[in-house]
Amino acid sequence: MDIGALRGTQALRNNVLKWMGFCLGVLAGVFAVFNLFINDFVVLGALEVVFASFCFYIFFYTRKRNAQLWQSLTLCLFLSLLITLGTYLSSIKSLLFIWTCSLPVLFYLLLGKQYGQVLSLMVALLQALILFSKSSLEPLNSVNFLLNFSFTYICIWAVSHTFENSRAEYGQRLENLALLDPLTGAGNRLAMTHYFEVELKNKNGLFILMLDLDYFKNINDQYGHDVGDRILIEVTSFFRQRISKGYVFRIGGEEFAIFLPSSDPRSAYEFADMLREHLSTTIHNIDEQVINLTISIGVACYMPNQTLKNFIKRADDALYQAKQQGRNKVVTAYELSQESIEHNKSS
């Protein structure tokens, strides 16, 4: 699966923001001309000129780059300001208040459920205060207008909220299916790639631990695959309970990887050795079977501009060396490089 497929929400919101920027920019420009030269609403017209400029900036920005949260939030707040201010300044027969009903849809599409709730409520309260403060709602019937307008807004808000809530829920389910190992609940290889390439902004001080359960095939052969699966689940839980920062990934049958961000060589080695020692002294009781496990671990530090493939390979080479040394060992990529340097000097 392509990592880009995991950014569906971001891509959707970026596309919506781009074309809303274009459409709103054109509309704001038209309204600015009317308000400046025909309706004599100088303040509103000037704000619409600024808003139109910002919308076109958003359009051109999002054609080549992903939008930032502040851009979506600014657009929504600016549009809300224009609509509420326009409703306050103009007479009810201008029908500017109708634009209010479009806002919840835009809030939820661009900003998600949390911001959508807050902004929709904020706009509802502001417009209610403005409409009730008007001396007359003529030529509209006051009671009928307020009831119909309120219920229309609430219905649109409810539909927007329900849709976004369902979209987020199903999106999370699909992401879990794509990123989580179904047996242990640990991240899979795709999750590891996604974390490394997308989520991890600062890779300085990043360490990777490659861990392999020693003689795990013997456990499957002796006790059966059901017991082996339960061992894998317990081992994953064992790792998670001892990680204060970092992520656990299952990348093979009995092979795991742990990312340790913002660490240092000594701390990474000590953590790896602590895992090795604690697991070797932990007794697993499964179906009245007493099982003891050991692990071999390879540790590597991230080098500048290194690809994930090369990063993993350095840790894998260290893991292989730990296996060669009799298992239940921790070997670092630094040790291997030093051995290589000494070997080259001696030869």
Active site residues: 254
Task: Give the integer Cα–Cα distance in Å for 186 and 142.
Answer: 59
**What are all long-range contacts of 131-137, with beta carbons under 8 Å and residues at least 24 apart?**
131/87, 131/92, 131/97, 134/92, 136/92, 137/92
Q: Are 275 and 295 in contact (CB under 8 A)?
A: yes
Q: What is the dihedral of CA 176, 179, 183, 186, to 10 degrees?
A: -110
Burial of residue 281 (number of CB atoms within 10 Å: 0-12, 13-18, 19+): exposed
Angle between helices 69-89 and 42-62 (to 10 degrees): 160
168: how many CB neighbours lie within 10 A of its CB?
A: 14
From the list 123, 38, 53, the residue with the least C-alpha distance to 88 is 123
